[in-house]
Amino acid sequence: MGKLLEKTRYLAIVGVISLLLASMTAFGWGVVKTYNAVIVIATSYGKDPYIAISLIELVDSFLIATALYIFAVSMYELFINKLALPDWMLAHNLHELKSKLGGVIILVMVVKFLEHLVEWKDPYSSLLFAIAVAVVSAALIALSHFGGKD
């Protein structure tokens, strides 16, 4: 039974492959957004008021793509085999992986908040949005800090 359980760790490859596929798709999505942003900048001679939003969304898509890649390689290293990658790029236990995920969630929320600020329509809803981002960020930071090691 022990040998069977040891071999089931290779089931993690399903997650690794899925995350790699999602990462490649997100990088492709970022390339498309880059192309669209360049077209908007070029055709409007830099005068389109939504250029900043396009560029922020561009950063967001590459941030998500990079995070998916980091999760894929970290899962591979955690469950399958060691990789020759920089140490900062890998999570060495589940606590680190959860912390990295929390960090990415916070960054994505901040990017979405910046997009919201650029569009600035209702100050009250912007305030509520900022409070929501702050509360969720604080909760994720607390869980990362006090969550303990797995």
CA nearest to 20, candidates 86, 85, 79, 66: 66
pLDDT at residue number 89: 78
Cβ count within 10 A of residue 39:
11
pLDDT averaged over the chain? 85
Say which residue the tokens 């809803």 belong to. 125
What pLDDT band is residue 72 in, cutting at 50, 70 and 90? very high
pLDDT at residue number 148: 63
pLDDT at residue number 149: 56
pLDDT at residue number 69: 92
Instruction: Sort residue 148 into left (φ over 0), alpha (ψ -120 to 50) or beta.
Output: left
Residue 79 has pLDDT above 80, yes or no: yes
Give the pLDDT confidence of 20-68 residue by residue, as tens digits.
999 999 999 999 999 999 998 998 887 877 788 788 888 889 989 998 9
Q: What is the DSSP string of 7-58?
A: HGGGGHHHHHHHHHHHHHHHHHHHHHHHHHHHHHHHHTTT--TTHHHHHHHH
pLDDT at residue number 150: 47
Q: Which residues contact 97 (CB under 8 A, 6 or more apart)?
A: 71, 74, 75, 78, 91
CA nearest to 24, candidates 62, 59, 56, 55: 62
Give the pLDDT confidence of 100-150 residue by residue, as tens digits.
888 888 888 888 888 777 777 888 888 888 899 999 999 888 887 777 654
Q: Look at the alpha carbons of 68, 69, 70, 72 in this order and tell me if their dihedral is positive or negative.
A: positive
Residue 3 has pLDDT above 70, yes or no: yes
